[in-house]
Amino acid sequence: MNETHPTPPARAAEVAAAEEALARTQHLRRVARRDTQGLAIPLLVLGPLTVAAAALQRLWLWWMVRDLGPGESRSATDGEMAFTNIVDTYWGTVGALGLLAIGLWFGVRSRRLGAGAGAGAWVAAAVAVFVLVAYNGIFVWVPFLMPLTMVSVLAPSAVIALALLLVGWRRHNGRLAAWALAFGVVTVLASLGFFDNRLYDLLTLVRLPTDVVLAVGGWGGLVAQVALGVAMVVVGLRARRADQGAPVTP
C-alpha cells in the first residue's frame, strides 16, 4: 500500500523559490517584449512635428507671395527673413528637440518597466544633441565629423531618421525602422520639392488648364507630409492603446 509522505519543509521552500523565480522570469520576458515594441513613442512625437512642418512651409509660401501679382518681385523684409530662418532650421532645431524627447521618453519608460535597459534611449538623445550642436556649425572644422555635420545641416531630418533606424535595430523593432525610413524619405524629398514637381507633371500630363496646374501643383509636398504625419499619429495611438492594455504583472 502506497503512502503519501509530506514534502519536507526545506524541499517545499526550494520549490516555492523556484516557482517564484520562474514567474519573475516570465514576467520580465513579457515586460521586455512589450518594451521592444515601443512604437508609440517616436510616432506620437514625430507625427505632429511632420504635420506642423508641412503647415509651416505652406504658411511661409503664402506669406512670401501674398501681396505679389504675376511676375512681380520685391526684397524680403526683416520679418520675412526671420520667418524664413525659422522654416529653414525647423528640423535642425525643433526636430532635434523632438528626437531628444524620444530618447528621454525611452529612458524613463525603460526605468519604469524595469526591463530593456533603455535600449535606444542614449542613441536618440546623443544624435539629437549632435544635430543641435552641428547645426550651429561648431563641428564643421572637425575632419572626421565633417560628412555627418554636412548632412545634419543640409538634411537634418535624414539624420533623425538614421538615428531612429539604429534605435529600431537595437530594439529589434522592424516596424519602427520602417516608419523611420518613411519619415526620412518623405521629409527629405519634400524639402527638395520632389512631390510638388511630380504633381505638376501629373497635372500637366492630364492636360488640365494652366491656372489649375499652378494653383494645385504646389500642394504635393504638403499633402505627402500631412498624410505621413496623420498616419504616424493614428498608428502611434493604436500602438499606445495596445501597449497600455498589455498585461505586465506576473
pLDDT digits (tens, 9 = 90+) for 154-199: 888 999 999 999 888 887 888 999 999 999 999 999 999 999 999 9
Cell numbers placing 102: 524620444
Q: What is the pLDDT of residue 250?
A: 38
Cβ atoms of 221 and 42 within 8 Å: the answer is no
> Domain residues for 89?
40-66+75-244
Q: What is the DSSP letter of 169?
A: H
Which segment, 31-45, 84-98, 143-157, is predicted with the most confidence on average? 84-98
**Please, how many CA atoms are within 13 Å of residue 30, restricted to the half-sphere of its CB?**
13
Q: What is the pLDDT of residue 3?
A: 56
Q: How many structural domains compose the chain?
A: 1
Q: What is the pLDDT of residues 18-30, one digit of tens each?
A: 656 565 555 445 5
User: Taking residues 6-34, what's their average pLDDT?
Assistant: 56
The DSSP H or E segment spanning 242 is helix 220-245
Residue 115: pLDDT over 50: yes
Please give the backbone phi and psi of residue 80, each rounded to the nearest 5 degrees, phi first.
-70, -35
Let me know if residue 19 belongs to a domain. no
Let me know if residue 27 belongs to a domain. no
Let me know if residue 34 belongs to a domain. no
Residue 32: pLDDT over 50: no
What is the chain's length?
250
The CA-atom distances, in angstroms, between 206 and each of 200, 202, 203, 237 are: 10, 6, 5, 38
User: Taking residues 10-21, what's their average pLDDT?
Assistant: 61
Q: How many helices (H) and strands (E) does the chain have?
A: 12, 0
User: Taking residues 93-113, what's their average pLDDT?
Assistant: 84
Whole-structure pTM value: 0.77
How far apart (Å, rounded) are the C-alpha atoms in residues 121 and 101? 10
